[in-house]
Amino acid sequence: MIDDVSVELAGRRVLEHASLGVARGEFVGLLGPNGAGKTTLLRAALGLIRPVGGSVTVEGRPSRPGRAAVGYVPQRHDVAWDFPISVADTVMTGLTGRVGLFRRPGATDWEAVADALDRVAMSDLADRPLGQLSGGQRQRVLVARALALRPAVMLLDEPFTGLDVPTQELLSALFAELAAEGRAVLMTTHDIVGALDGCDRIVLLNRTVVASGTPRDLALDSELWMSTFGVNAESSLLKVLRAVA
């Protein structure tokens, strides 16, 4: 739960009194223009950024880095893909907070890694070096790394950027399945049509939460999108929204 959170970065207010909750079993799409504070909101939810106001809790407890209840999928450019490590070992790094830096992973840990790779259809590439993967394969590894924690909450930062259609469809179906299994799933994305089609709820953000509602309800309200994205009444964005509403 993000409650009335404000965040400053380098002396600039990035989030202002933002409030957002995601329930177990819910798949929520977080939409907004570049610079709206979407990634900052996720990092605040992870406890990586300390708000100057408000509070962040996960399942009723204050958020802090490394909590096993939260799985995080960062944007792909945040990862050193030339590091000499295998796919399976990369997924295992997601369990470092639980296993510890100086303890060898046990059978249960490797079982979690295998299950996560299976869910993203990467089991056959478990031993492949990370640097030999395609963009879509790399994204699936990041999702598997988060899934290995078997978390109650999944935070996804632009998971579809630069992916081909089959990979987008595979991951979209997986995220919906994770929510159906009882996880809380929050995803930032620029794929507005995909979010309207696949998410249970849409949240519009531009430094603060502008609106929250079902995809259909929000798609029918042009004023909300104009306010969030700074577009005019003739914008192609609004034409797309009218077409899919």
**List of domains in the chain:** 1-63+166-245 (3.40.50.300), 70-150 (no CATH)
Residue 133 has pLDDT above 80, yes or no: yes
Q: Is 107 exposed, middle or buried (0-12, 13-18, 19+ CB in 10 A)?
A: exposed
User: 158-194: b or e for each residue (b if 16 or more CB lie within 10 Å)?
Assistant: bbbeebeeebbebbbebbeebbeeebbbbbbbebbeb
When pLDDT is cut at 50, 70 and 90, the band that residue 68 belongs to is low
Look at residue 94 in the predicted model and tell me its pLDDT. 85
When pLDDT is cut at 50, 70 and 90, the band that residue 181 belongs to is very high
When pLDDT is cut at 50, 70 and 90, the band that residue 201 belongs to is very high
Q: Dump pLDDT digits (tens) for 3-53.
A: 999 999 988 999 999 999 999 999 999 999 999 999 999 999 988 899 999
Look at residue 100 in the predicted model and tell me its pLDDT. 55
When pLDDT is cut at 50, 70 and 90, the band that residue 90 belongs to is very high
Residue 224 has pLDDT above 60, yes or no: yes
When pLDDT is cut at 50, 70 and 90, the band that residue 174 belongs to is very high
Look at residue 142 in the predicted model and tell me its pLDDT. 94
The percentage of the chain sitting over the pLDDT mark of 70, rounded to a whole number, equals 95
Tell which wins on pLDDT, 72 or 96: 72
Look at residue 241 in the predicted model and tell me its pLDDT. 87
When pLDDT is cut at 50, 70 and 90, the band that residue 210 belongs to is very high
Look at residue 1 in the predicted model and tell me its pLDDT. 83
Average predicted confidence (pLDDT) for the chain = 90
Residue 187 has pLDDT above 60, yes or no: yes
C-beta separation of 160 from 179 below 8 A: no
Residue 67 has pLDDT above 70, yes or no: no
Residue 207 has pLDDT above 90, yes or no: yes
Which two tokens mark 197?
Answer: 């089609």
C-beta separation of 5 from 55 below 8 A: yes
Q: Is 233 exposed, middle or buried (0-12, 13-18, 19+ CB in 10 A)?
A: exposed
The predicted model gives 97-106 an average pLDDT of 63
